[in-house]
């Protein structure tokens, strides 16, 4: 924890995959991100892109711009990623821990991406609050 003050960053992401990629690039420019070891940075990238990508692709029944709130807290021995959206309820903890066998195209929503993220993070918490999904992921920092 030496020299690590907790820093929290808040982002408002429109439900647009192109904007998700731009946000991921912006996050990689943060000094706090640049201080992460490779494994932690990879886990954060994967978690952000998979979970926000799932919200954008599958979370909304009606077309139109929606905002996903993304909070990243860098501090101590962990990085915490929280995503909040007003899409349909989806608890990734209900996705089986092992992905389905077989053809990738025939898999259910969230199968492989959620599986990979769960393997890379210390813990994942989900709650439904005020008609919003709130997903929090805790990623242990290396060195």
| Domain residue extents for the chain | 7-140
Give yes or no for a contact between 59 and 88, defined as CB atoms under 8 angstroms apart: yes
Question: What is the pTM (predicted TM-score) of this model?
Answer: 0.87
Write out pLDDT tens, residues 66-123: 999 999 999 889 999 999 999 999 999 998 777 665 545 544 555 678 889 999 999 9
Supply angle C-alpha 117, 14, 123, rounded to 5: 20
Q: Which two tokens stand for residue 35?
A: 């201080």
Helix (H, G, I), strand (E, B), or coil: what is residue 60?
Answer: coil
CA distance 123 to 121: 6
CA 110, distance to chain mean position in Å, is 12
What token pair was written down for 3?
A: 């020299």
* Residue 45 binned pLDDT confidence (cut-offs 50, 70, 90): very high
Identify the CATH number of the domain defined by range 7-140: 3.30.565.10
- Distance between CA atoms of residues 37 and 111, nearest Å: 27
Closest alpha carbon to 132 in 94, 90, 70, 72? 90
């Amino acid at each position: 924890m030496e020299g690590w003050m907790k820093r929290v960053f808040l982002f408002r992401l429109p439900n647009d995959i192109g904007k998700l990629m731009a946000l991921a690039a912006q996050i990689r420019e943060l000094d706090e991100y640049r201080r992460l070891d490779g494994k932690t940075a990879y886990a954060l990238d994967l978690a952000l892109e998979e979970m926000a990508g799932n919200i954008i692709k599958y979370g909304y029944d009606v077309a139109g711009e929606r905002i996903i709130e993304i909070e990243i807290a860098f501090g101590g021995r962990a990085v915490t990623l929280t995503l909040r959206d007003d899409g349909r309820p989806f608890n990734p903890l209900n996705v089986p821990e092992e992905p389905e066998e077989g053809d990738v195209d025939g898999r259910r929503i969230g199968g492989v991406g959620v599986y990979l993220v769960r393997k890379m993070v210390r813990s994942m918490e989900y709650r439904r609050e005020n008609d919003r999904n709130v997903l929090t992921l805790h990623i242990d920092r290396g060195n």
